[in-house]
Amino acid sequence: MQAAKRRGWITYYMSQYRWQFAAAAVLGAIAILSAAALLFTSGYLISRSSLQPENILMVYVPIVLVRTFGFSKAIFQYLERLAGHSAALRILASMRTRLYRIVEPQALRMRSKYKSGDLLGLLAEDIEQLQNIFLRIVLPALSSLIVYGAVIALLGRFDLWFALLMALYSGIWLFIAPLAALWLSVRRRKQYKQQRNRLYTQLTDAIYGMSDWQLSGRAGQFLDDYEKQSSAMNKLEQQLRRSEWRWQLITRSSAAAAVIMMAIWAAGMVEQGLLLPSFIAAMALVALPLMDAFVKVGDSVYRIPDYKDSLNRLNKLEQSGQSRWDDASARDEKAAEEAIRAALPKSVNRQSIDIALQQVSFQYEGSHPLTLKQIDLNIPQGLNMAVLGRSGAGKSTLLNLMLGELKPSSGEVTLNGIAAGELDAADFSVLNQKPYLFDTSVANNIRLGKPDASDEEVQQVTEQVGLGSFIASLPNGYNTRMEEMGQRFSGGERQRIALARILLQNRPIVLLDEPTVGLDSITEHKLVNTIFATLKGKTLIWFTHHLIGMEQMDEIVFMEQGRIVMRGTHEELLEREPKYRRLYELDQL
């Protein structure tokens, strides 16, 4: 966990890809300078041509330079984007893997803290936002700094005082203006978010209290109030957009002022006989692309509050203790595990963990009824247990208590006699409904369970889950790309690949969260049989509402309103519990 904190989400990757970013920044600076040189030679060519030279050869060189700088501008822009996007996409892949390491082992536990849409946003929108920090802020800023230094140094060779004046003027737009833009953006967006949150809260409260609004005859009042709040939010949004437009107008006007300053200075140099008159237009026009590069830095920081929200969500998720994974080095992971193990009593066997819940009750803060009420469970290593129950029965809370994410209000939850919160979440593997698969090879997706696994180990677990011959029949075998979310493969095949990943992890406890939902009945039965065959000896805790595979369970627990109302083997429940018998019969239809 400490290693993950030290890495961060920005500086760590900047350090890892510093040479690629440096190359991209230099290429971007050359592209900006090429654009400046293009306008410089164009201005000189127009001025020189207006004097009607006696021979075309007198303007031939500027013509060639115009074409040269025009091509070089496009070429270096392409190279800068190629280098910058290459580094950014590599970072994006690394970030996705890192976030997967945070989310996947704790998928069941996190469902009680985050909605599915939040997790999807973390895996997609927030990571994409961080990618934009590198491409839209870091690289343009670095390129502009290089150009700023080069241009001021060049001006200083002609006129030191004017160079200092331009350094001050350009510095305002390169350094001071972005800070002002950021301050304005933070202030206005904060107001907008507060108004939006108030509106959403009002709407949520109204939905839950809709019957009261109707009975009291105040539905019209609610609609009027809601319309006023919505109108206020729309006004704030319009003000936010107008402030951005005004800012862009001000920054673009700065380029016009720079052109005038350059033209006045060039005219003075002509009067002193230090420049030819044909250079006045050239010197004036060169300010346009340079100032455009500087003011774009201020425009880009206007979006920093959006990026900061994404960064805060990712940091909060990682710092909450839901993962210790270090995607940069498997050695760090092993060292972290060894440190945790060293802190535990020597008698603890990490490959044999018994879970015990003794008179466990739990009540969420601010909640009056108990979510769990006097739960007693003993789950020895190797037991297969199913936890059944409707939504709200307490299954998720029970899971969080086992993981140590929640502390019981009364009673004890222990793993090998140690409080659940003191043991490592890495003792658990998770197979859920939709395991995340990356757009990389089959072997790489499986190897996520154990990054240093050999090819032989990958092939062995693939054979165990029944995919060996299928993968061997693919054109590229284990190097076949799975495409994003594993779309190349069927649902059953994706689940088997995720199961192979769990086999590589080789953890003593496996949590199963509806892994067969969405599969056809034949594939479902095959997958269930494969799960029980390959995970024999491990503790299986199956959270489900579907009764398939209950015949192979050592114990079945049925929960209602925080209590265990039925428990026993499949045969025992069929014999003595009419409700369970009816549910099982309905499930077989």
**Tokens linked to 14:** 């900047």
Q: What pLDDT score does 65 carry?
A: 87
Pairwise CA distance, residues 575 & 422, whole Å: 40
Neighbour tally for 211: CB within 10 Å: 8
Q: What pLDDT score does 75 carry?
A: 93
Pairwise CA distance, residues 91 & 97, whole Å: 10
CA-derived radius of gyration, the chain: 32
Q: What pLDDT score does 5 carry?
A: 43
Distances (CA, A) of 263 to 268, 270, 420: 9, 10, 74
Please state whether 197 falls in left (phi above 0), alpha (psi between -120 and 50) or beta: alpha
Structure-token match 């003011």, residue found: 295
Q: What pLDDT score does 408 carry?
A: 87
Q: What pLDDT score does 207 carry?
A: 54
Q: What pLDDT score does 328 carry?
A: 39
Sign of the CA dihedral with 421 first, then 425, 428, and 430 last: positive
Determine contact, residues 94/13, Cβ cutoff 8 Å.
yes
Q: What pLDDT score does 342 carry?
A: 47
Sheet containing 428-431: which strands, arranged edge to edge? 428-431, 509-513, 539-544, 384-389, 555-560, 563-568
Chosen CATH of 1-158+306-336 out of 2.90.10.10, 3.40.50.150, 1.20.1560.10, 1.20.1250.20: 1.20.1560.10
φ, ψ at 76 (rounded to 5°) = -70, -30
Pairwise CA distance, residues 218 & 216, whole Å: 5
Name beta bridge partners: 449: none
Strands (E), 380-469: 384-389, 410-415, 418-419, 428-431
* Residue closest to 34 by CA, chosen among 147, 141, 145: 147
CA angle 454, 458, 459 (to 5 degrees): 115
Amino acid code (one letter) for 299: D
Please state whether 434 falls in left (phi above 0), alpha (psi between -120 and 50) or beta: beta
**212-228 per-residue burial string, b: 16 or more CB within 10 A, e: under 16:** ebeeeeeeeebeeeeee
Chain length of the chain: 589
The number of helix segments (H) and strand segments (E) in the chain equals: 24, 10
Q: What pLDDT score does 330 carry?
A: 41
User: Distance of alpha carbon 414 from its chain centroid, rounded?
Assistant: 33
Q: Which residues of the chain have pLDDT under 50?
A: 1-5, 108, 111-118, 208, 211, 215, 321-337, 339-348
Domain ranges of the chain: 1-158+306-336, 396-587
Structure-token match 């609609």, residue found: 223
> What is the three-class DSSP state of 488?
coil
DSSP-derived secondary structure letter, 435:
-
Pairwise CA distance, residues 217 & 223, whole Å: 12
* Residue closest to 141 by CA, chosen among 260, 294, 288: 294
Pairwise CA distance, residues 551 & 259, whole Å: 82
* Residue closest to 133 by CA, chosen among 292, 252, 306, 385: 306
DSSP-derived secondary structure letter, 420:
G
Determine contact, residues 557/564, Cβ cutoff 8 Å.
yes
Amino acid code (one letter) for 483: E
- Give percent helix, percent strand, percent coil of the chain, each to the nearest 5: 65, 10, 25
Pairwise CA distance, residues 100 & 486, whole Å: 14
- Has domain 396-587 been given CATH number 3.40.50.460? no
> What is the three-class DSSP state of 368?
coil
Please state whether 199 falls in left (phi above 0), alpha (psi between -120 and 50) or beta: alpha
Q: What pLDDT score does 484 carry?
A: 58
- Residue 285: CA atoms inside 13 Å, Cβ hemisphere, count? 19
